[in-house]
Amino acid sequence: MTNTLTTEEFAGQVVGDVAAAMSGVMTALGHKLGLYKAMAGAGWQTPDAIAAASGTFERYVREWLGNQVAGGYIQFDEASNRYQLPDAFLPVLVNTDSPMFLVPALEVAASLWLDEEKLLSAFKTGEGISWGQHHHRLFCGSESLFRPGYKAFLVDEWLQAVDGLTDRLKAGATVADVGCGHGASTILLANAFPQSRFMGYDLHEESIRTASERAREDGNPDNLEFVVSDAKSYDGESFDLICFMDCLHDMGDPVGAARHARSKLKSGGVALLVEPAAGNSLGDNCHPVGRLYYAASTAVCTPCSHSQEVKAGLGAQAGPARLSAVMQEAGFSRVEQVAATPFNIILAAYA
């Protein structure tokens, strides 16, 4: 991992990073103003046509197109002075149900800038920043970023990868979704398995209120309930499945949370962990996805853990070996990685 760049080469790399950061605002504008949508499947277009289709001002659109062409997001034909959004880019920029739809990540990035003063203080004091202390763009951005992946993979691939689990859910099981946030995964599961019953738990009251609103918007499934609770306090019946969806590494006491989950599982029950994609060492994670996750972990995940008791600070790049060790320390007999995507690893821990 030795850096052999010259000063000029490294300056060029930083210019590229600054250009990408500023262009992220342009990408967000392209989404929110419907510019990408206006170009989707429309072939080669003039700036006038794009502006008319999106209800925007042509001069601004023309300047925005320059940025997009320079960044490789949009193609330009100089002879005809027309622009085209390639069809291959639609899952990333336009199709909000695509697991590759990445525009919401920019909302997460925006929240980090808005929380800069909190981060400066945290670095100096060592104090944590709870999830609820962050700017609200983090909550909505995370929900929109995670939901398409859950919709694409959770039911049809991740659950299927655990022997017998899908049949158990079809027949009627009890499920806890711990750290459920806005309830994207919980609502999806409740609709997919109407014979089962689902409880969504989160310590952030505003997230639980939003999750309940999302459930009402979705027809209020009668096999679903959201409750304010931390990961070591939810009580009541035992569960066949307990999910930790992109959240265990954020917890102050992940071993305690896993130990509580182990105590709440029925015989033969399973804990399912969906975590950010990571290897077991820094070298394994030195790539664009790892870079993104280390930034999120520095600004959100590790401070969240340090705002709670124990302050384990696993971080978003904990990796499968460390996560498995947490689950085994909590009393699970066996842990295995059952699936992976470019953005996630999925582990099953067996009671």
98 within some domain: no
| Residues 205 and 112 grouped into a single domain | yes
pLDDT in tens, 79-90: 999 999 999 999
pLDDT at position 133, please? 97
127 within some domain: yes
pLDDT in tens, 312-349: 999 999 999 999 999 999 999 999 999 999 999 999 99
What number is the average pLDDT over the span 254-269?
Answer: 97
Specify the pairing of strand 174-178 against strand 197-202: parallel
d(CA 104, CA 149): 12
| Residues 211 and 169 grouped into a single domain | yes
pLDDT in tens, 35-66: 999 999 999 999 999 999 999 999 999 999 99
pLDDT at position 3, please? 75
pLDDT at position 11, please? 98
26 within some domain: yes
| Residues 289 and 187 grouped into a single domain | yes
Q: What total number of domains does the chain contain? A: 2
pTM listed for this prediction: 0.95
Please provide the size of the chain in residues: 351
**8 Å CB contact between 275 and 348:** no
Q: Judge whether residue 236 has pLDDT over 90.
A: no
Q: Provide the domain limits for residue 15.
A: 7-93
